[in-house]
Amino acid sequence: MHRAPKATFSKSEIAMMHIRPPQSPPDVSLRLPSSKSIANRLLLMNYLAGEAPERLKPGSDDYLLMQKMILQLGQGTDNTVFDAGDAGTVFRFMAALLSITGGRHLLTGSQRMQQRPCAPLVDALRMLGAEIQYTGRQGFPPLMIEGKKLNGGRVDVDASVSSQFISALMMVAPEMENGIEIHLKGNVVSRSYIELTAGLMVRQGARVQMRLPVIRVDKGSYRISNAPAESDWSAAAFWMQLVALMPGSNIRIGGLNPESLQGDRVAVDLFRNLGVDSHFSGDMLTLTNAGNPVPFLEYDFNSCPDLLPAVAVACAGLGTGARFTGLSTLHIKESDRIQAVISGLLKLGYRAVSPCTGRLEILSGQNPVKGGVVSASGDHRIAMAFAMLALRTGSVILDTPAVVAKSYPEFWDDLRKAGFILTGG
């Protein structure tokens, strides 16, 4: 039997991807990659517990990078360079870990990473006694870190920039003599990810008390309790987007946990507004199109900003007007995701605006064009969201398809399983 060639790309490839929709609604079973949010947190906790990192398959670029850096740190070499590339989670978690690990470390990243602020985390670590210097622009990577034992204690943290700053501090707190008492200042963004961190830490033996805006983590040690790998709810959102845009589709996804600590499980509720019915049988989630999407959707994404690209592009394709808030963190992701969504939609004939920082509006009325070229803006979630819009435009040409490897290396292979026609060029 003839097999279509795999749609896997090396990071160096810059070829365009021409995406055409399936000729009939897909009926397919999939297993999504493991949650990198969970996997990267467990890597750090495993290291502090003295456990060797385990490789999850398929491994996202972010997970493999975090694993590589943990192994590098375990070699105990001084004057070592740690390059986090464009992985914000990896950079922030490693900044905290390197601060409590003896030696002199240079932590850097890609050009885009060096545009993403890290001052709230650095300020907090310095308040706890860490020795960190900026080697370039103040408030931004790279960092020179002199790792040492920290006493811990009270620390105030600006929680309005990134929840990963909070998670990083929480996870290294058991190693500090006095633990940590974190007082969150400002609007707390992506709260669900802080709750994910706390939940995983408790499962691994740490003592955590959350009474926001205060988080207390006691001195202690991790006792690793290995649990089955859990699929990524963030990745599931793109298949909900497919079902919303193509009636008659029947998508089955294995490995998801309906009681997951992952905040993005709210995708089930969000996409119900767009006509997607979700039904669990064991760990198998079945997605079908129930029709009747709402004419207008209003939602605050403060706790689940990673879902914005899939939901916004789905709304545009359905002709559903929308007003989305709680998006301030999206300006400093792998791309400015709000502008990337607006730019891509405009190129395909849709209308969207951002009337102020952290807000996006999808306007009703549309005149989609076929075969438009959309830039992924170096962002995996933008690439996956616009690939699905081919279901309404008839065709999408997307640049830098390899960026999906950051979180979902098998995305293009799974898209082919669903009947999409993918050609390079």
Q: What is the per-residue pLDDT across 273-311, written as a single tens digit (0 to 9) for each?
A: 999 999 999 889 999 999 999 999 999 999 999 999 999
106, pLDDT greater than 50: yes
| DSSP classification of residue 285 | E
Q: What is the percent of the chain with per-residue pLDDT over 90, rounded to a whole number?
A: 84
Confidence tier at 55 by pLDDT (50, 70, 90): low
CA 312 to chain centre: 16
| Annotated catalytic residue within 62, 306, 379, 414 | 306
Confidence tier at 225 by pLDDT (50, 70, 90): confident
Q: Where are the domains of the chain?
A: 17-34+231-424, 36-217
Q: What is the pLDDT of residue 54?
A: 63
CA dist list (Å): 53 to 93, 98, 110, 271, 356: 15, 17, 24, 35, 43
For residue range 142-170, list pLDDT tens digits in order. Answer: 999 999 999 999 999 999 999 999 999 99
Decide the pairing of beta strands 131-134 and 103-108: unpaired
Q: What is the pLDDT of residue 331?
A: 87
Q: Where are the alpha helices (DSSP H) in 261-335?
A: 267-272, 308-318
Q: What is the DSSP string of 331-374?
A: GGSSS-HHHHHHHHHHHTT--EE-SSTT-EEEPS-----SSEEE
Overall average pLDDT of the 24-34 stretch: 95
Q: What is the pLDDT of residue 16?
A: 87
Tell the residue number behind the tokens 């009939």, with chain if given.
24
For residue range 324-344, list pLDDT tens digits in order. Answer: 999 999 988 888 999 999 999
58, pLDDT greater than 70: no
335 burial (CB, 10 Å; 0-12 / 13-18 / 19+) is buried
17-34+231-424: CATH homologous superfamily? Answer: Enolpyruvate transferase domain (3.65.10.10)
CA 103 to chain centre: 30
CA dihedral 152, 157, 159, 164 (to 10 degrees): -40
User: Is 306 one of the catalytic residues?
Assistant: yes
Q: What is the pLDDT of residue 172?
A: 98
Token output for 346: 């405009």
Token output for 417: 């399983």
Tell the residue number behind the tokens 């050009």, with chain if given.
111
CA angle (84 as vertex; 81, 88 as ends), nearest 5: 145
3-state secondary structure of 325: strand
Q: Which of 304, 262, 258, 308 is nearest to 279 (CA)?
A: 258
CA dist list (Å): 9 to 17, 60, 204: 10, 13, 36
Contacts 24+ apart (CB under 8 A), 205-214: 206/45, 206/173, 206/174, 207/174, 208/170, 212/184, 212/188, 213/159, 213/183, 213/184, 213/185, 213/188, 214/181, 214/182, 214/183, 214/184
Token output for 302: 């403060």
Confidence tier at 364 by pLDDT (50, 70, 90): confident
Q: What is the pLDDT of residue 56?
A: 52
Residues composing the chain: 425
36-217: CATH homologous superfamily? Answer: Enolpyruvate transferase domain (3.65.10.10)
Rounded to whole angstroms, the Cα distance separating 177 from 149 reads: 8
- Cβ contact 303:277 at 8 Å: no
3-state secondary structure of 240: helix
